[in-house]
Amino acid sequence: MKVEGQYTIDAPRDRVWALLNDPGVLQRATPGCRELHPLGDDRYRAVLELAVGPVRGTFEGQVSITDKAPPERLTLRVEGAGRPGTVRASGELRLEPQDGRTVVHYVGDAQVTGVLMSVGHRLFGGVAKQLAGQFFAALQREVERAQQAGGGT
């Protein structure tokens, strides 16, 4: 199942890049992320609580950041398993500077098994887009929080 879109963050590309590479920010911005523990080499052990339609569950697995080309693009990979099934997803984020802001273009793909598969690709696609929107909205809040902490800079 593929998902793609774009989101504009009101911050320069270098700042957005730094946030995307900050484990604390990743944990706070990722919907349902309860734990994110560094394993080294841009890999993290993660615990996520997610709901896809009527299916809810806790997933344990790994998040990794690969294919880095600072500050232009990176790939996020997620693999997890839980009672509702397994999830394997990857998404490329491309950061485009635009008048002091950053347009983040994303293209992702996910495979699910188990009960998750029963909700169907149509519902899962909508949920994936919603989760992406929540992630980028949370990233924007991180920008605003950093600006307030830094006196508006």
Which residue ranges make up each domain of the chain? 2-148
pLDDT at 153: 47
The correct answer on CATH 3.30.530.20 for the domain covering 2-148 is yes
Contact predicate 82/57, CB 8 Å: yes
User: Of 5, 4, 8, whose CA–CA distance to 97 is shortest?
Assistant: 8
Q: Distance of CA 83 to CAs 25, 37, 56, Å?
A: 27, 21, 9
pLDDT at 37: 96
Amino acid of residue 139: L
User: What CA dihedral angle connects 149, 21, 111 and 123, to 10 degrees?
Assistant: 20
| C-alpha distance across the termini of the chain, in Å | 40
Q: pTM of whole model > 0.85? A: yes
User: Of 2, 12, 19, whose CA–CA distance to 103 is shortest?
Assistant: 12
d(CA 129, CA 120): 15
Which residues on adjacent β-strands are paired with residue 86? Answer: 81
Contacts of 41 (CB under 8 A, 6+ apart): none
Written as six digits, the tokens of 44 are 């993290």
Low-confidence stretches of the chain (pLDDT beneath 50): 153
